[in-house]
């Protein structure tokens, strides 16, 4: 393993293969709990912990897990880490834990985590899987924070509870309601599509349909 690939493993998750913005995985938490920055941070950190923990464990057990039951084995490993994260959050930040509610448990079925186990940790060394998980975890946190910041600032006029626009601001309530989540992520993805098109105007064919196909394959 050369220096370049190690850096690649770490950095690809941040932007080039960002799990949310490019691979469109893990949509449920991205849309459901991003109505305040506080929730986003808690969710991001919890997912990061679960992702890194299970990637390391899966890659170190990769020669022991029989191929037929690998998915079940991954899910049990992931569920164990999620239970730990759930208990820690409940003990440390009970208010946020209550707001996130069932969505902490739903980290188990976050496709990002299972996809990384299946696509990377199951085939690579512990160190490379660790770097990959850290990169992907940070990529997820970045995407969550972007969503949260846009939704909380526009929908509530605050950032982490501090007022941004002053008392005369009329909040766009819709942004913190469910449709706002769809709109924010939708327009972000559209902006990214338009931007990458401007940068590389030639290959017009590999477009979102291929991306959804890849996503499905990754999940299967």
Residues contributing to the site for another protein (CB under 8 A): 24-25, 27-28, 31-32, 71-72, 75-76, 79-80, 82-83, 86-87, 101-102, 105-106, 108-111, 114, 174, 177-183, 185-194, 197, 204, 207-209, 211-212, 215-216, 219-220
Q: Between residues 10 and 154, which has the closer beta carbon with respect to another protein? A: 154
Between 6 and 219, name the residue whose CB sits nearer to another protein: 219
Least distance (Å) between residue 30 CB and another protein: 9
Provide, rounded to whole angstroms, the least separation between the CB of residue 191 and another protein: 8
Which CB atom, from 7 or from 16, has the smaller least distance to another protein?
A: 16
CB of residue 123 to another protein, shortest distance in Å: 19
> SS3 letters for the chain?
CCHHHHHHHHHCCCCCCCCCCCCCCCHHHHHHCCCCHHHHHHHHHHHHHHHHHHHHHHHHCCCCCCCCCHHHHHHHHHHHHHHHHHHHHHHHCHHHHHHHCHHHHHHHHCHHHHHHHHHHHCCCCHHHHHHHHHHHHHHHHHHHHHHHHHHHHHHHCEECCEECCCCCCCCCHHHHCHHHHHHHHHHHHHHHHHHHHHHCCCCCCCCHHHHHHHHHHHHC
* Burial state string for 147-162 with b = 16 or more CB within 10 A and e = fewer than 16: bbbbbbbbbbbbeeee
Q: Can you tell me the distance from the alpha carbon of 14 to that of 106, in angstroms, rounded to the nearest whole number?
A: 23
- Of 8 and 215, the one with the shorter C-beta distance to another protein is 215
Q: Toward another protein, which CB reaches closer, 60 or 215?
A: 215
Distance (Å, rounded) from C-alpha 139 to C-alpha 148?
Answer: 14
- Nearest approach in angstroms of CB 161 to another protein is 23
Of 10 and 114, the one with the shorter C-beta distance to another protein is: 114
Give the shortest CB-143-to-another protein separation in angstroms: 13
- The least distance separating another protein from the CB of residue 183, rounded to whole angstroms, comes to 4
């Amino acid at each position: 393993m050369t220096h370049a690939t190690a850096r690649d493993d770490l950095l690809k998750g941040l932007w080039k293969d960002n799990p949310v913005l490019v691979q469109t995985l893990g949509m449920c938490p991205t849309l459901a709990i991003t109505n305040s920055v506080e929730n986003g941070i808690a969710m991001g950190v919890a997912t990061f912990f679960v992702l890194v923990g299970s990637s390391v464990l899966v890659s170190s057990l990769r020669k022991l897990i029989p191929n037929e039951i690998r998915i079940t084995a991954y899910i049990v490993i992931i569920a164990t880490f999620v239970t730990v994260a759930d208990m820690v959050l409940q003990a440390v930040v009970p208010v946020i834990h209550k707001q996130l509610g069932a969505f902490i448990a739903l980290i188990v079925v976050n496709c990002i985590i299972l996809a990384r186990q299946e696509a990377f940790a199951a085939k690579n060394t512990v160190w490379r899987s660790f770097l990959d998980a850290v990169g992907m975890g940070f990529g997820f946190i970045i995407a969550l924070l972007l969503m949260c910041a846009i939704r909380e600032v526009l929908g509530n006029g605050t950032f982490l509870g501090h007022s941004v626009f002053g008392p005369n601001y009329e909040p766009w309530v819709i942004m913190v309601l469910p449709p706002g989540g769809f709109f924010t992520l939708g327009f972000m993805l559209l902006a990214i599509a338009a931007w990458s098109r401007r940068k590389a105007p030639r290959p017009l064919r590999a477009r979102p349909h291929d991306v959804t196909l890849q996503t499905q394959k990754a999940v299967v």
